[in-house]
């Protein structure tokens, strides 16, 4: 059981929400109570590794179909890297791009497959600085679960299906790479300076390098992702030839590269107007 391995847990509903309702509903505490009252129903603040407390929580919520693991808590100080695949995002490719751009490894670690086709990577962090929750700040498709957040545990049943450990993945979380930790703790994205006229911006050059470094089996996926990012940045026409050349370097034909880039362009055109 996760709690026996040092992961503080709480019961979750099929909608991945804390199963126990707040004891202060209708009469909110000011400042908000985070469990100081001794009653259950404070969400992730109830998370515990104590066997009696865990049994008490799940006995009080027999409708729970899963459990959440609190992030940022000792002894593991868990950091969750949530790689999404919804709404055209590709979190895994985005993480690979960041790793190549900033020169850090993606270590083998506990990996949980989600019912939507995404995955959660578990990493351990230091006691400080505090890692906070974020949605898409690092890159589209990458959400971070840190202090005050939780990850749905493997084996949990939700309305969309069951979470499961990835076959062959390690059973213990790896330490977060130092460079990735620096990115996670940055208070705001780095200030970008405009490059001199005629010099392509660094993100554009990084996209081209990312495509050129594509291993077999990821060539089309990386090209499509890079073309989508170029299109999102208004650089689709400017980078089309360079991305095609980079794709040809990996072994794709010009026709295949053009088809993939065109598909990325159609993605935006086919999106519904808000």
64 shares a domain with 83: no
Q: Each residue of 234-251: pLDDT tens digit?
A: 778 888 888 899 889 999
**Domain annotation covers residue 223:** yes
pLDDT class of 261 with cuts at 50, 70, 90: confident
User: Residue 212: CB partners within 8 Å, gap ≥ 6?
Assistant: 246, 249, 250
What is the number of structural domains in the chain? 3
Residue 47 pLDDT > 90: yes
Sign of the alpha-carbon dihedral angle for 56, 61, 66, 68: negative
**For residues 247-274, b (16+ Cβ closer than 10 Å) or e, as one string?**
beebebeeebbeebbeebbeeeeeeeee
Q: What is the pLDDT of residue 119?
A: 96
Question: What does residue 150 show for φ and ψ, rounded to 5 degrees?
Answer: -150, 160
60 shares a domain with 82: no
State mean pLDDT over 215-228.
84
Q: In terms of Cα–Cα distance, which of 201, 91, 198 is closest to 142?
A: 91
Q: Which of 30-39, 113-122, 163-172 shows the lowest mean pLDDT across its residues?
A: 30-39
**Domain annotation covers residue 126:** yes
Q: Is residue 151 classed as helix, strand or coil in its secondary structure?
A: strand
**Domain annotation covers residue 195:** no
State percent of the chain over pLDDT 70: 90
Prediction pTM value: 0.76
Q: What is the pLDDT of residue 223?
A: 86
* 83 CB-contact burial (10 Å; exposed 0-12 / middle 13-18 / buried 19+): buried
**Domain annotation covers residue 181:** yes
173 shares a domain with 83: yes
**Domain annotation covers residue 194:** no
Give the domain-ending residue among 42, 70, 98.
70
Q: For the chain, how far is it from start to end, CA to CA, in angstroms?
A: 45
Question: What does residue 114 show for φ and ψ, rounded to 5 degrees?
Answer: -100, 155
163 shares a domain with 94: yes
**Domain annotation covers residue 274:** no
240 touches 261 (CB < 8 A): yes
The alpha carbon of 40 is separated from its chain's Cα centroid by a whole number of angstroms, namely 29
148 touches 82 (CB < 8 A): no
Q: In terms of Cα–Cα distance, which of 69, 42, 82 is closest to 147?
A: 69
Give the domain-ending residue among 70, 97, 129.
70
* Residue owning tokens 């959660």: 120
58 shares a domain with 117: no
Domain that holds residue 216: 202-266
135 shares a domain with 85: yes
114 shares a domain with 141: yes
pLDDT class of 268 with cuts at 50, 70, 90: low
89 shares a domain with 55: no
24 shares a domain with 47: yes
**Domain annotation covers residue 90:** yes
* 231 CB-contact burial (10 Å; exposed 0-12 / middle 13-18 / buried 19+): buried
What's the alpha-carbon Rg for the chain, to the nearest Å?
A: 22
Give me the DSSP letters along 234-263: T-HHHHHHHHHHHHHHHT--HHHHHHHHHH
57 shares a domain with 123: no
Q: What is the pLDDT of residue 269?
A: 58
Residue 104 pLDDT > 70: yes
Distances in Å between the Cα of 232 and the Cα atoms of 30, 87, 114, 217, 236 are: 43, 14, 27, 24, 8
**Domain annotation covers residue 272:** no
State mean pLDDT over 7-19.
96
Strands 142-145 and 134-135: antiparallel
233 shares a domain with 162: no
178 shares a domain with 117: yes
């Amino acid at each position: 059981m996760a709690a026996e391995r040092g992961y503080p847990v709480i019961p979750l509903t099929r909608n991945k929400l804390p199963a126990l309702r707040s004891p202060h509903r209708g009469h909110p505490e000011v400042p908000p109570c985070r469990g100081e009252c001794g009653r259950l129903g404070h969400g992730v603040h109830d998370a515990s590794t104590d066997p009696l407390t865990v049994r008490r929580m799940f006995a009080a919520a027999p409708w729970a179909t899963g459990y959440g693991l609190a992030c940022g808590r000792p002894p593991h100080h868990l950091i969750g890297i949530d790689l999404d695949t919804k709404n055209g995002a590709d979190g895994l490719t985005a993480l690979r791009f960041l790793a190549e751009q900033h020169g850090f490894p993606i270590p083998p670690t506990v990996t949980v497959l989600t019912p939507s086709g995404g995955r959660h990577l578990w990493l351990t962090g230091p006691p400080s600085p505090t890692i906070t929750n974020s949605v898409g700040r690092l890159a589209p498709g990458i959400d971070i679960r840190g202090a005050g957040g939780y990850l749905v545990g493997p084996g949990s049943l939700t309305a969309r299906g069951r979470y499961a450990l990835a076959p062959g993945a390690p059973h213990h979380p790896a330490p977060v790479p130092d460079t990735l930790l620096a990115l996670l703790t940055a208070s705001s994205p780095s200030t970008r300076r405009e490059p001199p006229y005629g010099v392509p911006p660094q993100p554009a050059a990084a996209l081209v390098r990312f495509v050129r470094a594509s291993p077999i089996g990821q060539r089309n996926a990386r090209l499509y992702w890079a073309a989508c990012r170029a299109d999102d940045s208004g650089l689709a026409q400017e980078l089309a030839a360079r991305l095609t050349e980079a794709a040809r370097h990996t072994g794709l034909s010009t026709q295949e590269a053009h088809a993939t880039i065109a598909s990325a362009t159609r993605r935006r055109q086919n999106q519904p107007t808000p």
